[in-house]
């Protein structure tokens, strides 16, 4: 396990300049021909947060969660979920989208999901900025626990790298994978406590829901920005998450490496 992690880290470090260059091109390509350009990165999450806030706070009259305004609590949960869904959703077609590189040059295609993670993380900064502005607007004091979100962000990167390798490789051979991923992400959004509190569920249901690794990260963001709770207060959930994430990372890398030699022939 340690040798695999070291080798993966070395591979990413060796090609860091290529990864950053490709990520910049991916971000720029999203706004080609757009008058507002990068501003749309902030507009999309802002509109999304406003719609959910209006529906649940105004329409359904959602009450503050643990004395925290609902819009702040909601944004803290939406930020990691939409980064997760953006990375996994984009990773499904990333190998097919770069078929010209894979067929014509000696190219390390395993870095493509890493490029997706980097470019999506830039968009994630817009969500985080909005969250910080909401904390200031609602007079919620900052604390050192905010720095803990870097740990949960790293957790999310590890989880999505494994899933990204998996879906990217499978999509080359089965083009329905992207559609399946889209459906799974839609279902995952509603079963992950992004806009509802897990404690409203019966204890047995909570046990099942905690098998979802994204629950650990969503709650972790809220612990970091709102409730000021350290991850060491959840030892069993932390152990489960890392077991799940590392198995996913190994399995995703195994599937990608096993199918990688056939990419050029299929594409």
Phi, psi of 77 (to 5 degrees): -85, -35
Question: Whole domain around residue 63: which residue ranges?
Answer: 2-266
* Distance, CA of 265 to CA of 246 (rounded, Å): 30
Average confidence (pLDDT) over 143-170? 93
Q: Residue 32 has what pLDDT?
A: 61
Looking at the DSSP bridge assignments, the partners of residue 160 are: none
Please count the structural domains in the chain. Answer: 1
Cross-strand pairs, 53: none
CA-CA distances (angstroms) from residue 58 to 61, 62, 107? 5, 7, 52
Average pLDDT over residues 71-85: 89
Mean pLDDT across 67-72: 80
Residue 68 pairs in a beta bridge with: 65
pLDDT score recorded for residue 267 = 66
- pLDDT band with cut points at 50, 70 and 90 for residue 183: very high
Do 130 and 45 form a contact (C-beta atoms < 8 A)?
yes
Q: Exposed, middle or buried: residue 107 (CB in 10 Å: 0-12, 13-18, 19+)? A: middle
Residue 251 has a pLDDT of: 94
pLDDT tens sequence across 222-266:
999 988 888 889 899 999 999 999 999 999 999 998 988 888 777
Q: Provide the pLDDT for residue 98.
A: 83
User: So what's the pLDDT on residue 68?
Assistant: 78
What proportion of the chain, given as a percentage, has pLDDT over 90? Answer: 33
State the chain's mean pLDDT as an integer: 84
Cα 175 to Cα 177: distance, rounded to the nearest angstrom:
5
Nearest to 172 by CA among 85, 88, 87, 92: 92
């Amino acid at each position: 396990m340690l040798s695999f992690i070291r080798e993966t880290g070395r591979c990413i470090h060796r090609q860091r300049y290529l990864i950053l260059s490709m990520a910049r091109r991916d971000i720029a390509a999203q706004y080609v021909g757009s008058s507002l350009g990068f501003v749309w990165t902030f507009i999309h999450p802002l509109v999304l947060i406003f719609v959910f806030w209006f529906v649940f706070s105004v329409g359904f009259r959602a009450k503050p969660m643990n004395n925290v305004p609902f819009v702040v609590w909601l944004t803290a949960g939406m930020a990691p979920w939409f980064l997760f869904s953006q990375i996994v959703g984009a990773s499904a077609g990333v190998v097919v989208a770069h078929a010209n590189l894979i067929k014509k040059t000696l190219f390390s295609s395993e870095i493509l999901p890493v490029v997706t993670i980097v470019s999506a993380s830039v968009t994630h900064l817009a969500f985080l900025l909005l969250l910080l502005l909401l904390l200031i607007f609602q007079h919620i004091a900052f604390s050192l626990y905010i720095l803990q979100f870097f740990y949960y962000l790293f957790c999310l990167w590890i989880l999505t790298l494994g899933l990204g390798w998996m879906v990217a490789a499978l999509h080359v051979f089965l083009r329905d994978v992207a559609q399946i991923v889209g459906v799974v992400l839609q279902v995952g959004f509603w079963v992950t406590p992004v806009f509802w509190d897990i404690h409203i569920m019966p204890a047995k249901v909570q046990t099942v829901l905690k098998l979802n690794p994204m629950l650990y990260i969503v709650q972790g963001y809220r612990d970091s920005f709102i409730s000021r709770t350290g991850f060491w207060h959840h030892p069993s959930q932390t152990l489960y998450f890392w077991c799940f994430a590392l198995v996913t990372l190994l399995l995703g890398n195994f599937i990608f490496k096993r199918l990688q030699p056939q990419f050029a022939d299929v594409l």
